[in-house]
Structure 1
Amino acid sequence: MKKYFALLLTMLFLGCSGGSDKPDPQPTDEGKDRSVMLKALAENMIIPSYDQFKTKFDLMSEKSKAFAAKPDAQTLGAFRSAWADAYVAWERVELFDFGPAEKQTIRNFFNIYPASEAGIAANIADPTSSLEVPASYATQGFPALDYLINGLGANDTAVLAQYTTDKDAAKKLAYITRVVTRMESLLGKVMGEWKGEYLNTFISKTGLDIGSSTSLMVNGTVLHYERYIRSGKFGIPSGAMANGIAAPEKVEAFYKKDISKTLAQTAHKAYVDFFNGRHAVTGEAGPGLKTYLDALGAKDSSTGKLLSESINTQFQAAAAKLDALKPSLYEEVKTNNQVMKDTYNEMQKAVRMLKVDMTSAMSITITYTDNDGD
């Protein structure tokens, strides 16, 4: 009988403790799941934004070919319009300068300004010149096309003469084709990687080390806001970063000055949308840097509010300054430069929040250097 009770107790014990060597499932805070954030940003923002840009770029390419085949007022006008639309669309993807874009250094080949007029002239004279070296950055991309279709003459008649009656007209047309073709090749490589193996790599590298997707993305996008929006579009032309010495000739779209504000507005809004995880097509907010910061409980030490709220408030303050500017940032620098400096100063406040407060909350190490005093 004793053996029977011992056996019974043993069976009851085993029945109650079965699987006790496995831990109970723990609830997952999806907001802190970086794979969710990375997947959403890649599939809802990065890839669709590239698709949208490619549509505009392809139209520009088509119009450039029509102009090269028959340079006249009509084809020039159509090329210019498509170029401006593609340039604006570029501002929505330029911030994704990590992963494939960084590998191809596409920004340096697409949007280094001011364009080098002397370098472009040298490349036109020598069709075998390299467009793959750093010295060639300012001789190609959107700024070079800006010069070639807007800056080669004082008016449309003078510009068209460069492509019809000038002794080097054929070479200049060939160079436009060369620049556009190279841009098409680089864009294809970047998009091909995003739509290929890199997408899975990006989503799967969920750590916080220097080589992780979150670290690369945060470093790349913070650098973009700091150096290419705040500094490139405002700090350098206004002189706010050059001992007060204004340089209006260094504004973006120098030869088509009336779109410079639109380019800056688009770039700034694209960054804000990215921070808030807004879908490139629907505009609906989803997982992104904001939701991740909120899940971490990151607070603004000076106000006690959610850090994401303070960052968005500062974005709004910077956007308000930007929106109040005239269409030509060149004219603002020349006639009312303080408003350019004010815009720069508001963006600088956002830089500190992104580069110091946000990265600290995320345990991200800033791996780039910038001589901005931060």
Structure 2
Amino acid sequence: MKSKMRNCFLGVFFLISCVSCFEKGPDPTLVRFFDQKGFVENIGKNLIIPSYKDLTEKSMALDTALDRLIKQPTKNNLLMARQSLKEAWLSWQYCLPFEFGPSELRDLGADINSFPADISQIEANLDSSNIDLNLPENSHAKGFPALDYLLNNKFVTDEKLLSTIASKTTLNGYLLGVAGQISLASNLVYRSWDPAIGGVYYVFFADDDALGVKEGSSVSDLVNGLAKSLELTVTKAKVGIPMGDYSGGLAAPEATEAYYGGYSLELLKANIEAYRLIFTGTSRNGVDGLGFDEYLNIKGAKLSASDQPLSEAVASGLGSVSSTLQSMTDPLSNQIESNLPTVQQLNNQLIGLSYLIKKEMAPALRVEITY
């Protein structure tokens, strides 16, 4: 159960009423030998806040690049807008595991990265004079996937795209509206976290009342965030569905992330690196701190089926996924069509890694999976 004070803040910040309460204080059996407070402080200060800050900055840069493109529709400005989109999308990969608290209540992931893009709806929007991105039918017609289709569609030449922008059509407003929603949503979540700019969620996240492992504790949020994003977004959405694992073997390469930009594997590599940093407690600039590996070692956690230390098994799983990814070349859609055995290997490795987090690490830390 979540802290009443914690949820009241979120309720005011996002105009959402929260009525649950939270059992006070840490579970002494879980913090006796491990600095749990130092652990959550490290993850919060050195990974969560910097990741959301970087996403906000990259999203604002994307806003600026698109505004420049619309005012001056040149080939160079188009290339810069595409690069800004890619950089913002890469930045999001480091935020994906932290979809709890402000991000969960904002439904940030749904706002900015619901893929694959709904091409029919996007085209219908382009023919409309009034586009409301908050309508349910636009759930897959906004965010990074929509910009990917609008800026990287290989069936539209650069000359045609620049001509359309120069003609000041609905496309211009659509581009700015989608980018504006991404930067606004990202900024709201970041500003709710960072105490340096008035955010207070970090205070609740690292407070003594948020220690322990009960539902609503910081450790529970982190473990559930890792498990949920790894299982549903990474394993299923990024790889499983496109390769046909959920459709009787019927592949759907066009369902890959960044299908039009052609850098789905680059995004996935960044995402796996994000999980490695969280697991080892390492900041983006390489400073080592308390991570889940130390936590598991202090607990003496081993694989349920062997005596192998669980921290080693997870590290090995992350390494195997990274190694397979390094052997593949973008785009993933082409790999599915021409190198399916390797994609299947990657999928199996991701399933195994997801199992380790959800079925081995969570029980070892006495965290209940709640999604």
Instruction: Tell me if TM exceeds 0.5.
Output: yes
The Cα shift of 1:242 comes to 2.2
Q: CA deviation at 1:305?
A: 2.4
**What secondary structure is seen at the aligned counterpart in 2 of 1:32?**
coil
2:148 is the alignment partner of 1:149: no
Whether contact under 8 Å (2:90, 2:267) holds in the other structure is yes
* Secondary structure in structure 1 of the residue aligned to 2:183: helix
Spell out the pairing of 1:17-36 with structure 2 (5 A cutoff): 32-36=34-38
CA distance, structure 1, for counterparts of residue 307 and residue 50 of structure 2? 36
Task: State the match for 1:350 in structure 2.
Answer: 353
What percent identity do the matched residue pairs reach?
Answer: 28
Contact 2:52 2:189 in 1 (8 A): no
Match 2:280 to one of 276, 282, 301: 276
Does 1:75 find its partner at 2:80? no
Cα distance between partner residues in 1 of 2:203 and 2:136: 31
Q: Give deviations 1:11-64, integer Å, cap 9, x for gaps.
A: xxxxxxxxxxxxxxx9x9675232221111000111112222333222222111
Q: Is 1:366 aligned with 2:369?
A: yes
1:331 matched to 2:319: no
Matches within 5 A, 1:184-199: 184-195=183-194, 196-199=199-202
- For the pair 1:303 / 2:306, whether they are aligned, the reply is yes
Q: Which amino acid aligns with 1:140?
A: K
Choose from 236, 243, 247 the match for 2:241.
236
Residue identity matched to 1:210: E
**2:260 & 2:225 partners in 1: Cα distance?**
29
Distance 1:31 1:250 in 2: 46
Partner residue of 1:93?
A: 95
Using the size of structure 2 for normalisation, the TM-score is 0.86
Instruction: State the partner residue of 1:223.
Output: 228
Q: Deviations over 1:216-238 (max 9, x none)?
A: 22111211111111111111111
- 2-structure distance, mates of 1:191, 1:346: 32
Q: Of the candidates 249, 254, 276, which is equivalent to residue 249 of structure 1?
A: 254
Matched-pair contact (CA < 8 Å) for 1:153–1:159: no
Aligned Cα RMSD in Å? 1.9
Q: Encode CA deviations 1:224-262: one digit per residue, 9 max, x unaligned.
A: 1111111111111111232211110101111111x1111
2:214 is aligned, of 206, 209, 215, to 209
SS of alignment partner, residue 366 of structure 1: coil
Larger mean CA deviation between 172-181 and 204-213 belongs to 204-213
Distance 1:212 1:135, change over 3 A: farther
Match of 2:141 in 1: 139
Structure exhibiting the larger radius of gyration computed from Cα positions: 1
Q: In 2, are the aligned partners of 1:222 and 1:351 still within 8 Å (CA)?
A: yes
**C-alpha contact (below 8 Å) 2:59/2:182 kept by paired residues:** no
Q: Among residues 103, 109, 112, which one is paired with 2:111 in the alignment?
A: 109
Alpha-carbon distance between aligned partners in 1 of 2:356 and 2:254, rounded to the nearest angstrom: 30
**Following the alignment from structure 1 to structure 2, what is the Cα–Cα distance between the partners of residues 180 and 330?**
25
Q: Which amino acid aligns with 1:223?
A: K
Distance 2:331 2:86 in 1: 14
Cα shift readout 1:132-161 (whole Å, capped 9, x = no counterpart)? 244322111111101111117432122223
Q: Work out whether 1:175 is the aligned partner of 2:170.
A: no
Paired AA for residue 242 in structure 1 = S
Q: Distance in 2 between matches of 1:160 and 1:279?
A: 40
Quote the offset at 1:215 in angstroms: 1.2
2:70·2:166 contact (CA, 8 Å) conserved in 1? no
Unaligned runs of 5+ in 1: 1-25, 369-374
CA distance in 2, matches of 1:29, 1:197: 24
1:174 & 1:359 partners in 2: Cα distance?
A: 45
| C-alpha separation in 1, matches of 2:211 and 2:138 | 36
Letter in 2 for 1:145: L
Contact map agreement 1:251 1:329 (CA 8 A) in 2: yes
Deviation at 1:114, TM superposition (A): 1.0
Q: Which amino acid aligns with 2:299?
A: L
Instruction: Identify if the C-alpha distance between structure 1 residues 164 and 153 changes in structure 2 by more than 3 Å, giving closer, same or farther.
Output: farther
* Large movers: runs of 4+ above 4 Å: 28-31
One-letter code of the match for 2:174? Y
Q: How does 1:44-55 map to 2 (within 5 A)?
A: 44-55=46-57
**Alignment partners' CA distance in 2, 1:64 and 1:350:** 38
| Residue aligned with 1:254, SS | coil
1:57 is aligned to: 59
Change in CA separation of 1:224 and 1:31 when aligned onto 2, cut-off 3 Å: farther
* Counterpart residue type for residue 302 of structure 2: K
Secondary structure at the counterpart of residue 121 of structure 2: helix
Deviation of 1:88 (Å): 1.2
User: 1:287 corresponds to which residue?
Assistant: 290
CA distance in 1, matches of 2:255, 2:100: 25
- Aligned AA (1:137): S
**In structure 2, C-alpha distance between the alignment counterparts of 1:134 and 1:295, rounded to whole Å:** 46
**Preserved CA contact (<8 Å) 2:239 2:347:** yes
TM-score (norm. length: structure 1): 0.86
SS of the equivalent of 1:159 reads: helix
Q: CA 1:359/1:133 → structure 2, altered by over 3 Å: closer, same or farther?
A: farther
